[in-house]
Amino acid sequence: MHTCLYLGGARSGKSRLAQTRAEGYADVTLLVTAQALDAEMAQRIAHHQAQRPEHWRVLEAPIQLGDALLSCQAERPQSVILLDCLTLWLSNLLCLEDDERYQLERTKFMYAVTNLRTPLLLVSNEVGLGLIAPTPLGRRFVDEAGRLHQELAGLCDEVIWVAAGLPLWLKPCSAR
């Protein structure tokens, strides 16, 4: 199993690079976490939909990501899983304002990542480089994203920072 974490800012090219890698596999399952809660987000989702191959299997998992990962593996063990994006999933969870649910879903997700036996490509926004958020929820989001990224970076075989569409290997895969 190979795991790769793509980190970068908004519109940095991380999704495109992860998608390009996924296209090298015969079977791709795309797990998406975005929810079209407003017109602008619906446009962003439509942009991503237009950029990916139509034959990919697409599953929506805005909250129960760990369950979705394990389900993908059980249903299609030969498929690479491309997960886009972790920060939207984190935002979905934190907006529930249910700490018990947050801890449960995060634990299930980390369990799935640790126990998955199929290639996994993770995409996430690095949000800790900007100003301090003015609200408690905003600050918690940045803190939780940072913790999640650190834990995943330790588990993943490869971590790639993306800026201006260019990859920088923070943790090169030894098999590369």
Unique residue bearing structure tokens 């490869």: 158
Copy the structure tokens of residue 3. Answer: 């795991």
CA distance linking residue 131 with residue 127, whole number of Å = 9
Copy the structure tokens of residue 103. Answer: 């801890």
CA distance linking residue 56 with residue 161, whole number of Å = 25
Kindly give the interhelix angle for 136-155 and 99-115, rounded to the nearest 10 degrees.
20
Extended beta strands in 17-133, E state: 28-32, 57-60, 80-84, 120-125
Say if CB 112 and CB 69 are below 8 A apart: yes
Q: Which residues pair with 162 in a beta bridge?
A: 8, 167
User: Catalytic site residues?
Assistant: 48
Unique residue bearing structure tokens 């090298």: 24
Copy the structure tokens of residue 28. Answer: 């791709």
